[in-house]
Amino acid sequence: MLPLYITSGEPAGIGPDICLSLADRVDERPIVVLADINMLRDRAKILNREVDIIAYQQQQQSSAQGQLYVEHVPLYEDVELGELNPKNSAYVLEQLRRSADYAMQGQSVGVATAPVQKSVINDAGMHFSGHTEYYQEFAGVERVVMMLATKTLRVALATTHLALRDVADAITTVRLHQVLDILIHDLKTKFKIEHPRILVCGLNPHAGEGGYLGHEEIDIINPVLESYRAQGINISLSLPADTLFTPEHLKDTDAVLAMYHDQGLPVLKSQGFGEAINITLGLPFIRTSVDHGTALSLAGTGQAKSSSLHVAVDLALDLARH
């Protein structure tokens, strides 16, 4: 059975810690961590965890409880807990490269990712804006959609890692059509929601207040939304984001489309931080991720929570069954 690969992320952070917790699982499909195997063994000793770390070989069956499959990716330098080292940035990117390559070659069902530190990768002279953009470029697709989800709420983003001053210019008719096509398609095919109901945030306060607080809703957003409504898609016109995320509005809603990163994600994370996951829609393979960062100060302390990684793995495995 094809494996699900897990990237262990930034080695100085909590990625290796939470990956070790995967040894507590028993899954029908092999779960394989991409990491330096010696670093993981050292981290297990620091955390006082008894984990049987096994070098993975293709076609192996699911591991038993207490066992963890690892594909060795060698570090460039030894890790100091909580201390970022640009010299290990290539190690982090090699995890992503392998995970994407295996998925694209049909050697895995997809990938779930532990957190990386964007700043140190860029400090190493390698342009990196995030997992989402990396996998998009590797897969050669024109557009992907970043969506975070809890048990009760899904929030997709029209734009991802952009400076706020650049967001309005990025909200174009073409982009919105691309994002909505992907969102609707993947809700139907990956999540098996036959007739998804989608609410859409306006860009401006009060969704532009009829043009008094901005014209993007009138000129761009609503005309695009009207075109989908004309096709029978159950989608709202742009709504004020400050009142959209209320129980009355969210009742029976399958997904919310926010215009930018910090419009929708603070609400979602306030509802389910540690239990939320990130899903990249529009890729030709499954990719899920944790909803948190590297938490450098918690590395090796035993205080890192692994719940988001387990939810990400659960969703990836569930999507792989469809």
| Domains present along the chain, CATH in parentheses | 1-141+286-322 (3.40.718.10), 143-282 (3.40.718.10)
Please name which of 310, 314, 317 lies closest in space to residue 18, comparing C-alpha atoms. 310
Annotated binding site: 131-132, 161, 206, 261, 269, 278, 287
Q: Beta strand 67-72 with 52-55: parallel, antiparallel or unpaired?
A: parallel
Judged against a pLDDT cut of 70, whether residue 81 lies above it is answered with yes
Scanning the chain, the segments in alpha helix (DSSP H) are 15-20, 37-46, 89-104, 118-123, 131-139, 164-170, 173-189, 216, 222-229, 241-244, 247-250, 261-272, 307-321
Arithmetic mean of pLDDT, 293-310: 95
- Amino acid symbol at 298: L
- Report d(CA 58, CA 125) in Å as an integer: 34
Report the predicted TM-score, pTM, of the whole model to 2 decimal places: 0.89
pLDDT at 69: 97
Annotated binding site for substrate: 131-132, 269, 278, 287
Task: List, for residues 169-188, the tens digit of each pLDDT value.
Answer: 999 999 999 999 999 999 99
Average pLDDT taken over every residue of the chain: 94
Q: How confident is the model at residue 273 (pLDDT cuts 50, 70, 90)?
A: low
Contact 238, 128 (CB under 8 A): no
Judged against a pLDDT cut of 70, whether residue 41 lies above it is answered with yes
Annotated binding site for a divalent metal cation: 161, 206, 261
Task: List, for residues 7-28, the tens digit of each pLDDT value.
Answer: 999 999 999 999 999 999 999 9
Judged against a pLDDT cut of 80, whether residue 59 lies above it is answered with no
DSSP characters over 92-107: HHHHHHHHHHHHHTTS
